[in-house]
Structure 1
Amino acid sequence: MKESVRRKWTTKDVMLDDTAWKGELPPPPDDVLSPYQYFCAFFDEEMVDTLCYQSNLYATQKNVTCANITKEEMRKYLSILVISGKVRVSHFRMFWQCGTRFEPVADLMSRNRFEAKHRCLRMNDNCQAKPRDAEGHNRFFKVRPLVKQLKKNMKAVAPEERQSVDEQIIPFKGRSPLKQYMKSKPHKWGYKVFTRAGVSGIMHDFIIYEGKGTAHDNGFGISGDIVIDLVKNLPENRNQELFFDNWFSSLRLVDELKRKGFLRVGTVRVDRTEKCPLAPDATLKAQGRGSVDFRVDEDSNIGVIKWFDSNSVHLVSSSAGVQPTDLCKRWNSKEKRSIDVPRPFAVKEYNAFMGGVDLADMLIELYRTDYKSKRWYMRIFYWMMDVSIVNGWLLYKRHCAQLSIKRRLSLLAFRMQIAQTLAHLKSSPLKRRSGMAAEAEIVPAKHLIHSPVTPRPTVYVRYDGMNHRPQYGEKKNRCKFGYTFLYCAKCNMHLCLLPSRNCFKAFHVK
């Protein structure tokens, strides 16, 4: 542990000399990409290749009856998992049973084939795992390749000005020595994850808690070391604002972050204020709700603020002080009405920008992939898929805002378009051609087709140039200019193919 410095406490407010953010967000693309392309920005082809290779390797090692799993089949497997986040059933086999059959899943793959893939699914070679007592043993070895690649892809996204660090939990009630209990979370049992996210909810980095060795020893205790590890990829000396709660905070940590050019606002525990001479609770309570006392270290310009609301709360800040104060609404239980309570500026900043990780957690929970499995690492795999979808949607929203696009896909529509593309994509992902319109990707299908017989394929599948074959159907159906028996076997769209008019070509070529 690093030694505490001797503080010179004064009653002057925090001096804000140069707190302007010196970074900027990169310009958006010329047009928004497809949902699948945003998904692949995080869950990329390298991760799909790893799943295919390691699953086939495991099947060979164990002599499991499972035919070679191709990338197309792996994408279909992933598509079913993505769909299951929205369409919930008591038992997964209900997707294929007669009374509860769900065609988008049942027509995609047989039940036996899906279960065979699920049994073989692996992310690393078990033969390369080191014993528990050996040097270099990794407790998350089974998911390490995917975790490493996902973190790399998340760090590639430009961070916002304000970042928060907080805890998440991956729900899991099975047997695992890595499982944690967190009484304050909606899901009490699971894997604890420390996450850094922007105020928009985009996650940029994470660390899965594994006990001793979770973070490098930086001399700030386990909580402070986690913060140092999570921000080490942020550019220094750009006045990036960081927000985290009292479990992480200490004055020494704020000193170190300020030395690296990071600004910080957050709560702090009383025993980490280094005996800062603040007024006792009884004095502030006698002054009424909204009373405040503060001290600022003369050398470091770091302030410690004590604000009394219904109870006292301590904050430490290097970027915001007491002034300017404002009024916030609070409920008075005695008078049975809302009252105005004075609030320091640091409290206002903390309340406004601390919730990035909680926002991401809420969005993941809306359509969480929940296929029950006794293998402890599968829940982490599902979580990585859900994070990739949510991050992709939030990045899509950022680009829509930069391009002033008002009509945007909801998270559900975004997720289902990813599932549809995964189900029908036959080739390796291609770069979207510059002339390809994106309107079909950002406007819900109900605004494009008034009464569709079958769902229209996504732009990504429509123009991929793979396996689009005309077939002759038993019944004719509507084309753009009339009725025809011909349809595309892949898109399932009826399209004319006449000497005078080739709707089939016009539909598939941009």
Structure 2
Amino acid sequence: MAASSTYGAFSKRRKGERTMDVNEALAILMDDVQDFESADVYIEPPDVHEETDVDSGDENADGMSASVNNLCGNQLSSGCSVTLRTRTGRQTFGQDSASSDYDSTPSDTDSEDGAPITRKRNAPKRTKRVWGHMEFDTEVNNEFDKSDATIRELDLSPAQMFELFFDEEVTAFIVDMTNLYARQKGRLGFKMTASELKLCIAVFLISGYNPLPRKRMYWENAEDVRNEAIASSFPYERFEELLRHLHFADNTKLNRDDKMSKLRPLIAMLNERFLQFWPCTQSINVDGLMVPYYGRRSAKQFIQNKPIRYGYKIWCLNSPSGYLIQYEPYQGAGTVKSFPELGTAGSVVIDLLSELPAKRFNVFFDNQFTSIPLLEELKQKGMHGTGTLRQNRTQKCPLNEVNKMKKQERGSVDYRLDTSSGVLVCRWNDNSVVTVASTVFGVTPTGSVKRWSRKDNREIQIPIPQMILAYNQNMGGTDRMDENIGYYRPSVRINKWWWPLFIAQLSFSVHNAWQLYKISAAATRRRLDQLGFIRDVAMTFILGHRQRGLLISPGRLRPVESRVPDDVRFDGPGHHLISGLTQRRCRQCGKKTVKLCMKCPDCPLHQHCSVLFHTK
């Protein structure tokens, strides 16, 4: 930085003009926020109250620091003007009332190439940040109350776990809205029941792990496509009629400003239940996922280089295991920002966290969301944030440049702490250079990770900062959920724009129910993977709500627990005995009988044994 000091630039001030003094000019030149290549300083002659021939300093002193240290009090309080030369132009302070404000935006001076600089008069003032090569000077309190995790004590079947979210209130609401929509369309004779809705849900789930090109094929008599469980539940014509009228809102009360108004009631109810039964964890993460959709809708998104490029984008708040806590479909660039100063991504994070209880959560997110103002906002709300940071969002943090760090040894680290906000920014050299910001995790104690070394032709251990290790361990819950849902995504489709979003919400509910089942007491007695869990829920709804019984050929016998879910075996009504073709062993006493239970598949029983078998 080069600076020159000149006396006599302003021999006389204009009336009413505000001019800064030398003290204010020094504050500008020594501020880290100002990024300039050179500066010109013009100082007015001081007001002399007494004649003197003594100079204020050595005439042979060179450099700004020498002259500053030798200025007298009258000179420090005299008028001054500063012109900063930057790469984009010039910025002048002290000429008039507009440019003399230290924290104001650049004035309308000409740049070096003669082009005027555009001035943002309504731009917010930038926060002054003080970066230091240090870590957190105090230990962060990470105490966390997990008293809400009561779900681990529940002993519920898979279907009962699913009905924590699709409970009687949700089911009754969907049935009412479907019947209301049918009446609005003039079909007064149509009426859906709760049992029919659960049968439809079972068909959707079965189509996820047993997909067919056309939904009618499940009812065909051809041996290669017919599904006996679905075909015996209700006729295909009734299934089509139910899908045609399926609805989730009153069309006369839609909010025209909300593109998701047809699904808004269901979104609100499921979000409430997801939060209610969430096994509370301190670490949570925010991310987005895509729901495939190829129709024409203004909310549809296109994201290049993604597994699902066309579809609806959904913002998700997940636990590290993949449990979905809150979600909100993205409605496009015109979405109203609740926090304009944080941008769209920052507003998404704050909105998703707004319904959580007042606890000290550790929130993780990727570089799409991370910004230093967002981390400050979370800290003010009693939460901590950690996320990867883009290079243009570091707010002039003096870290080593990326190109220089690439040439350093793998595992090298550089970090800075903003003492004004408590945000620590760390840059780490791995296979590529990554930058992470956090308000809770520091650089030490460092861990170690395995990496392949071409030079040594073997795996080596390299150090990794604590904040990046914590990020890798806790980030990715949304991706884990999206991967699990993609395995058994329902394949039944209808020509409605909201259909993919409804199927996604159904998949969210099944996935959350499976996550709860894995940590509940029921899993210690009967462990189920995701496929087994979905099959159990589907068959429980089929056997418990279908319109007529189904006699299944015995084939190879399986344990009673895997053939007859407890929710069907002990549900009470409908367990009538009918005559079979041959004698078989009773499932209760083991003696031969020709009687079969009409409701329970492949279950021979005596008349007197039926009561015992169907009683807990």
TM bucket normalised to smaller? 0.7 to 0.9
- The CA deviation string for residues 431-482 of structure 1, in whole angstroms up to 9 with x for no partner, is xxxxxxxxxxxxxxxxxx9546996321112212122223333443321321
State the shift of 1:70 in Å: 1.1
Q: Is the 8 A contact 2:321 2:477 kept in 1?
A: yes
Give the Cα separation in 1 of the matches to 2:487 and 2:318.
18
- The CA deviation string for residues 156-175 of structure 1, in whole angstroms up to 9 with x for no partner, is 12421100000111111122
Matched residue SS, 2:362: strand
State the AA in 2 paired with 1:249: T
Q: Which of 404, 416, 424 is the aligned partner of 1:283?
A: 404
Bigger Cα displacement from structure 2, 263-272 vs 484-493 = 484-493
Partner of 1:486: 595
Q: Which of 184, 187, 194 is the aligned partner of 1:61?
A: 184
State the shift of 1:223 in Å: 0.5
How has the CA–CA distance of structure 1 residues 30 and 247 changed in structure 2, closer, same or farther, with 3 Å as cutoff?
closer
State the AA in 1 paired with 2:343: G
Q: Which of 105, 108, 124 is the aligned partner of 2:230?
A: 105
How has the CA–CA distance of structure 1 residues 455 and 102 changed in structure 2, closer, same or farther, with 3 Å as cutoff?
farther
State the shift of 1:333 in Å: 4.8
Give the Cα separation in 2 of the matches to 1:78 and 1:407.
24
Partner of 1:436: none
State the shift of 1:5 in Å: 2.1
Bigger Cα displacement from structure 2, 276-285 vs 158-167 = 276-285
Give the Cα separation in 2 of the matches to 1:88 and 1:404.
28
State the AA in 1 paired with 2:567: Y
Residue 302 in structure 1 maps to residue 427 in structure 2: no
How has the CA–CA distance of structure 1 residues 30 and 391 changed in structure 2, closer, same or farther, with 3 Å as cutoff?
closer
Give the share of equivalent positions with the same residue, in percent. Answer: 33
How many residues matched?
A: 477
Give the Cα separation in 1 of the matches to 2:145 and 2:545.
40
Give the Cα separation in 2 of the matches to 1:11 and 1:453.
66
How has the CA–CA distance of structure 1 residues 394 and 214 changed in structure 2, closer, same or farther, with 3 Å as cutoff?
farther
How has the CA–CA distance of structure 1 residues 476 and 61 changed in structure 2, closer, same or farther, with 3 Å as cutoff?
farther
How has the CA–CA distance of structure 1 residues 485 and 92 changed in structure 2, closer, same or farther, with 3 Å as cutoff?
same
Matched residue SS, 2:209: coil
Matched residue SS, 2:507: helix
Residue 424 in structure 1 maps to residue 549 in structure 2: no
State the shift of 1:215 in Å: 5.0
Q: Which of 462, 484, 503 is the aligned partner of 2:609?
A: 503
Residue 476 in structure 1 maps to residue 583 in structure 2: yes
- The CA deviation string for residues 390-414 of structure 1, in whole angstroms up to 9 with x for no partner, is 00010111224xx882751111111
- How large is the RMSD of aligned CA atoms in angstroms? 2.4
How has the CA–CA distance of structure 1 residues 30 and 197 changed in structure 2, closer, same or farther, with 3 Å as cutoff?
closer
Bigger Cα displacement from structure 2, 282-291 vs 366-375 = 282-291
State the AA in 2 paired with 1:508: H
Q: Which of 557, 565, 571 is the aligned partner of 1:458?
A: 565
Give the Cα separation in 2 of the matches to 1:453 and 1:152.
36
Q: Which runs of structure 2 are paired with 1:305-320 in the superposition (5 Å)? A: 305-320=426-441
How has the CA–CA distance of structure 1 residues 144 and 33 changed in structure 2, closer, same or farther, with 3 Å as cutoff?
same
Partner of 2:43: none
Q: Which of 127, 136, 160 is the aligned partner of 1:5?
A: 127
Residue 85 in structure 1 maps to residue 204 in structure 2: no
Give the Cα separation in 2 of the matches to 1:39 and 1:454.
19
- The CA deviation string for residues 318-363 of structure 1, in whole angstroms up to 9 with x for no partner, is 1111112222222345665433332111111111110111111111
TM-score, normalised with respect to structure 1: 0.88
Q: Is the 8 A contact 1:126 1:142 kept in 2?
A: yes
Matched residue SS, 2:327: strand
Partner of 1:374: 495
Give the Cα separation in 1 of the matches to 2:397 and 2:281.
33
Q: Is the 8 A contact 2:337 2:343 kept in 1?
A: no
Residue 350 in structure 1 maps to residue 494 in structure 2: no
State the shift of 1:30 in Å: 4.7
Q: Which runs of structure 2 are paired with 1:30-69 in the superposition (5 Å)? A: 30-64=153-187, 67-69=190-192
Partner of 1:432: none
Q: Is the 8 A contact 1:21 1:161 kept in 2?
A: no
Partner of 1:221: 343
Bigger Cα displacement from structure 2, 351-360 vs 305-314 = 305-314
State the AA in 2 paired with 1:420: M
State the shift of 1:29 in Å: 5.7
Q: Which of 233, 250, 261 is the aligned partner of 2:371?
A: 250
Give the Cα separation in 2 of the matches to 1:3 and 1:245.
26
Give the Cα separation in 2 of the matches to 1:262 and 1:293.
25
Q: Is the 8 A contact 1:303 1:318 kept in 2?
A: yes
TM-score, normalised with respect to structure 2: 0.73
Bigger Cα displacement from structure 2, 11-20 vs 105-114 = 11-20
Give the Cα separation in 1 of the matches to 2:215 and 2:284.
38
Partner of 1:321: 442
Q: Is the 8 A contact 1:166 1:194 kept in 2?
A: yes
- The CA deviation string for residues 13-32 of structure 1, in whole angstroms up to 9 with x for no partner, is 13451332322142346552
RCO comparison, higher one (Cα < 8 Å, 6+): 1
Q: Is the 8 A contact 2:151 2:279 kept in 1?
A: no
Partner of 1:231: 353
Q: Is the 8 A contact 1:16 1:319 kept in 2?
A: no
Any stretches of 5+ residues in structure 2 without a counterpart?
1-122, 547-555
- The CA deviation string for residues 24-56 of structure 1, in whole angstroms up to 9 with x for no partner, is 142346552011111111222222212212222
Q: Is the 8 A contact 2:153 2:520 kept in 1?
A: no
Partner of 2:75: none
Give the Cα separation in 2 of the matches to 1:187 and 1:62.
35
State the shift of 1:488 in Å: 2.3
Give the Cα separation in 1 of the matches to 2:331 and 2:438.
30
Matched residue SS, 2:503: helix
State the AA in 2 paired with 1:128: K
Q: Is the 8 A contact 2:271 2:325 kept in 1?
A: yes
- Greater Rg over alpha carbons, structure: 2
How has the CA–CA distance of structure 1 residues 410 and 256 changed in structure 2, closer, same or farther, with 3 Å as cutoff?
same
State the shift of 1:107 in Å: 1.4
How has the CA–CA distance of structure 1 residues 28 and 62 changed in structure 2, closer, same or farther, with 3 Å as cutoff?
closer
How has the CA–CA distance of structure 1 residues 332 and 455 changed in structure 2, closer, same or farther, with 3 Å as cutoff?
closer
Residue 411 in structure 1 maps to residue 530 in structure 2: yes
Partner of 2:290: 169
- The CA deviation string for residues 101-133 of structure 1, in whole angstroms up to 9 with x for no partner, is 111111112221111111111111223235x4x
Q: Is the 8 A contact 1:199 1:356 kept in 2?
A: yes
How has the CA–CA distance of structure 1 residues 184 and 2 changed in structure 2, closer, same or farther, with 3 Å as cutoff?
farther
How has the CA–CA distance of structure 1 residues 12 and 184 changed in structure 2, closer, same or farther, with 3 Å as cutoff?
same
Partner of 1:74: 197
Q: Is the 8 A contact 2:140 2:440 kept in 1?
A: no
How has the CA–CA distance of structure 1 residues 354 and 2 changed in structure 2, closer, same or farther, with 3 Å as cutoff?
farther
Give the Cα separation in 1 of the matches to 2:514 and 2:571.
22
Residue 22 in structure 1 maps to residue 116 in structure 2: no
Q: Which runs of structure 2 are paired with 1:122-271 in the superposition (5 Å)? A: 122-130=247-255, 132=256, 137-156=257-276, 157-211=278-332, 212-213=334-335, 216-217=338-339, 219-236=341-358, 238-271=359-392
How has the CA–CA distance of structure 1 residues 387 and 214 changed in structure 2, closer, same or farther, with 3 Å as cutoff?
farther
Q: Which of 119, 133, 141 is the aligned partner of 2:244?
A: 119
